Amino acid sequence: MKLFLDTADINEITDLNKTGMVDGITTNPSLIAKSGRNIIQTIEEICGIVSGPVSAEVTATDYDGMMREGARLAEIASNVTVKLPLTVDGLRACASLSEDNIMVNVTLCFSTAQALLAAKAGASFISPFVGRLDDIGADGMKLISEIAEIYANYDYSTEILVASVRGVQHVVDAALIGADVATIPPKIMSQMYKHPLTDKGLADFLSDWESTGQSIL
């Protein structure tokens, strides 16, 4: 499964990209606002750091506006993925941009029916928000499982990009189901490395090695 970072923080992206584990980036208007930077400059800089897909979201809510903004964002770099909301106009814009070979990430998906429509519109990615569903007592991972089954039934090429990830277990569950991508906050990627038994084992190994008085170099 691919791992995307859900952030617009250049420093975080630069640091974690060095691990070789970052396959792409997702941003949204809230993350851009949090960065305090210009959206065009920010996306351009991110695309220069990460070679994988970089989602940049439109702010227009009508078809014509989405098409204009989508075209502008796609001009920034070849790895830009235009992010569109799962609305009637968003799906219409998705179909049009996809016909022009522009990658599209359809976001704010909360139902299997919505995901089916996004695939039929030619979306490159569908972004179901599992955490927000869990927050209201629904089962976010059940949605991922249902989408995966339908996409497999009809051989849709749309990739399932699990969003609104709340913790490491969401990533593991998504991988077990067979989701294509999980987009995660940087802190969750850091948490994925951690386990107390790993820390204890390493401390024991180093203590034993120090007692030998040896050096590899």
- Catalytic (active-site) positions: 83
DSSP element (H, E) containing 24? strand 24-26
3-state SS record for 64-97: HHHHHHHHHHHHHCCCEEEEEECCHHHHHHHHHH
- Token pair of 104 as six digits: 């599209």
The secondary structure of 106-137 as a DSSP string is EEEE-SHHHHHHHHHTT-SEEEEBHHHHHHTT
- Token pair of 4 as six digits: 């995307």
List C-alpha distances in Å: 142 to 9, 43, 117.
31, 33, 18
CB-based contact 165:130 (threshold 8 Å): yes
H helix and E strand count, the chain: 11, 8
